[in-house]
């Protein structure tokens, strides 16, 4: 490339366009100035989806429900869980690049597990929400009627959930 000022700008713009973090960063925290207006509005009350609130004490008890929903998905599809782990492993870098802020506190192993549990949980919640006959009488998530609105307000219905759903259907066909 030439050394004209416009060529330098063209090169810099091209570098930014090729950067995965610039292309796929679509999940970010609420900006601090908005958060401070009503901090409680942006804090999950019962379930953490994604890395930002993952280790808050009051949300940890819900993790057992995610495991249960993963087991339901595995039983329903007949696919062994290693297939899902491998699928999430392959998506890890691209998924990590979706986050606007640093999530370096989660290593690859933990991030893959988070994607698997959270993604399968969301897939199963959507199925149960849409197909009422799938809800068990003892499923507390639907007795309370809170689960889907809670997930939606966390902004979690993103690319990876739909990728996981595609992976599931790929296994079925």
| pLDDT value, residue 167 | 64
Strand ranges in 42-153 using DSSP code E only, listed in sequence order: none
For residue 89, CA distances in Å to 9, 46, 108, 148, 167 come to 36, 27, 8, 26, 12
| pLDDT tens, the chain, 173 aa long | 567 888 888 888 888 777 655 445 566 666 777 778 887 777 777 788 888 888 889 889 889 989 998 999 999 999 999 999 999 999 998 888 877 667 888 899 999 999 999 989 888 888 877 777 777 666 666 555 555 555 554 554 455 555 666 666 565 44
Burial of 130 by CB count in 10 Å (0-12 exposed, 13-18 middle, 19+ buried)?
exposed
Give the domain ranges of the chain. Answer: 5-172
For residue 108, CA distances in Å to 13, 53, 87, 94, 150 come to 30, 17, 13, 12, 26
């Amino acid at each position: 490339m030439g050394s004209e000022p416009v060529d330098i700008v063209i090169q810099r713009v091209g570098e930014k366009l090729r950067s995965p973090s610039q292309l796929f960063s679509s999940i970010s925290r609420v900006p601090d100035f908005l958060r401070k207006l009503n901090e409680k509005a942006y804090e999950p009350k019962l379930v953490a989806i994604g890395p930002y609130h993952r280790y808050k004490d009051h949300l940890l008890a819900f993790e057992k429900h995610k495991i249960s929903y993963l087991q339901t998905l595995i039983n329903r599809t007949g696919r062994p869980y290693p297939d899902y782990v491998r699928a999430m492993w392959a998506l890890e870098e691209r998924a990590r690049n979706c986050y606007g802020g640093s999530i370096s506190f989660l290593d690859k192993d933990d991030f893959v597990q988070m994607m698997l549990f959270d993604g399968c949980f969301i897939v199963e919640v959507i199925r149960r929400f849409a197909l009422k006959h799938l809800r068990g009488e003892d499923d507390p998530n639907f007795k309370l009627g809170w689960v889907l609105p809670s997930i939606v307000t966390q902004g979690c219905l993103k690319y990876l959930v739909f990728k996981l759903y595609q992976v599931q259907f790929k296994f079925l066909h």
